Amino acid sequence: MEKDFLEHGLNFNRRRFLSRLSLGIGSVALGSLLIPDLFTSGNDESSLPSGIPDFAPKAKRVIYLFQNGAPSQLESFDYKPKLREMMGQELPESIRAGQRLTGMTANQASFPLVGSYYDFKQYGDSRAWVSDLFPYTAKVVDDICIIKSMHTEAINHDPALTFFQTGAQQGNRPSMGSWVSYGLGSENKNLPAFSVLLSKGKGNGQGVYSKLWTNGFLDSIHQGVQFTSGEDPVLYLKDPDGLNRFERRKMLDKLAELNDISYQEFGDPEISAKIQQYEMAYRMQTAVPEITDLSKEPDDIIKLYGPDCLVPGTFAANCLLARKLSENGVRFVQLYHQGWDQHGNLPSEMSGQAKDVDQASAALITDLKQRGLLDETLVIWGGEFGRTNYSQGTLTKDNYGRDHHPRCFSIWMAGGGVKPGIVYGESDEFGYNVVSNPVHVHDFQATVLHQLGLNHEKLTFKHLGRRYRLTDVAGKVVNDILV
């Protein structure tokens, strides 16, 4: 009877483990291949990626510091003294030219111009203008390329964020990290090709959601793996009670045999993907605890990133973790930092947000550079659109808000074959329209893929009779910012 009880308990634990593993890995999709899977539904083999770049890449991997909620370019990198001169005056209709506004300000009786509450100064050999809110970024300005002419069509957060991440506003498309995983695979068989880290600042947070790191119609092995700040950095990796490492290995081997039989019968590529996910989870049990342990970082690194880097789940901790993941071969590390939606109380709220991210963002550049990794790592910083040059709501001497503005905004890029110490593109003196070297979201995406050695027009996947790509039917590489 005791034997039956023990066997029942072991079987129960196996079933519970399989259930948890299927749920967990299915939801976080442990992208694992050294070479992308060839059993991709709907594609013929002649069109499949080989896991080898189309041409010599300048970057091996990407760290994307996404500032969710859209930081104001007018308080960060796009200095507009004209707005201070015309403080409180009406936005000229000739500048707006009937452009679309959100429902939050479309019915305002007036659109009073407002300059930055914070001063700007020029830094570095590039003499780039940087707001006083970003003193650490100002110190590395000669290592970054500031693009002041970004523009997009989407005017609200969800479609704009989804557009940046997937190339479509509607969702259910593969994310940029998934496309990179599909095109290049992983450098490290013990870690996923695409990882996701979340943090939240002091400001108003716009939510993030798993569709932003979805594999869409690609095999589930290409979905982003979310790391958490809890006791288990990746959910469902631990063995359940009653199942040791040896038993788990035997179970996975038997499960692979059964799944292989099912694959031979039905030909469903997700069966093959599931086997790979289980195997990746097994290997990650050893790799993840070591990677996520920040306690062994030397004092000079802790000082560089700031004390918050030892607090799990903070932006600083995630920047440090991103460096560790990247240097260990994770192709695409995606950070989302929430809290940049300053429709009101912008001077005080944006100050807190900037303090959360400024030191760690600059530290990441410095850290990668001193390790000799910046040249092969493309770092990106920016949000989903910009902010209006007029005040949303009541304008006072020391308080105002800014609405969404898709017509021009700023991001910066560093490393990975991007020219350091330059400013590219320009907006008009009101900070409302792009007047030189416009960069569309699809241009940005094409450029990122190009630096990884991928031709954005050739990286396609056939789904429901149509060939899809990250850049849809648009996009051109911005060669002027490349080395």
pLDDT tens by residue, 460-476: 999 999 999 999 999 99
Instruction: Provide the CA 116 distance to its chain's centre, in angstroms.
Output: 27
Q: Which residues pair with 337 in a beta bridge?
A: 67, 199
Q: What interhelical angle do 315-327 and 269-292 show, nearest 10?
A: 110
Q: Going along 160-256, which residue ranges are E strands?
A: 194-200, 225-227
DSSP assigned state of 419 = P
Kindly state the greatest CA–CA separation across the chain.
Answer: 88
One pLDDT digit (tens) per residue for the chain, 483 residues: 444 434 444 444 444 444 344 333 333 334 333 333 333 445 654 456 767 888 999 999 999 999 999 999 999 999 999 999 999 999 999 999 999 999 999 999 999 999 999 999 999 999 999 999 999 999 999 999 999 999 999 999 999 999 999 999 998 899 999 999 999 998 988 899 999 999 998 887 788 999 999 999 999 889 999 998 776 777 656 666 777 777 777 777 777 778 788 878 887 877 777 767 766 666 677 777 888 888 889 999 999 999 999 999 999 999 999 999 999 999 999 999 999 999 999 999 999 999 999 999 999 999 999 999 999 999 999 999 999 999 999 999 999 999 999 999 999 999 999 999 999 999 999 999 999 999 999 999 999 999 999 999 999 999 999 999 999 999 999 999 999
Strands 128-131 and 120-123, how do they pair? Answer: antiparallel
How far apart are the C-alpha atoms of 78 and 146, rounded to whole Å?
A: 9
Q: Does domain 61-234+298-481 have CATH number 3.30.420?
A: no
How far apart are the C-alpha atoms of 412 and 279, rounded to whole Å?
A: 37
pLDDT tens by residue, 314-354: 999 999 999 999 999 999 999 999 999 999 999 999 999 99
> Does residue 218 contact residue 211 with C-beta atoms inside 8 Å?
no
How far apart are the C-alpha atoms of 346 and 53, rounded to whole Å?
A: 44
Cβ-Cβ contacts under 8 Å for 418 (sequence gap 6 or more): 145, 378, 451, 481, 482, 483
How far apart are the C-alpha atoms of 419 and 416, rounded to whole Å?
A: 9
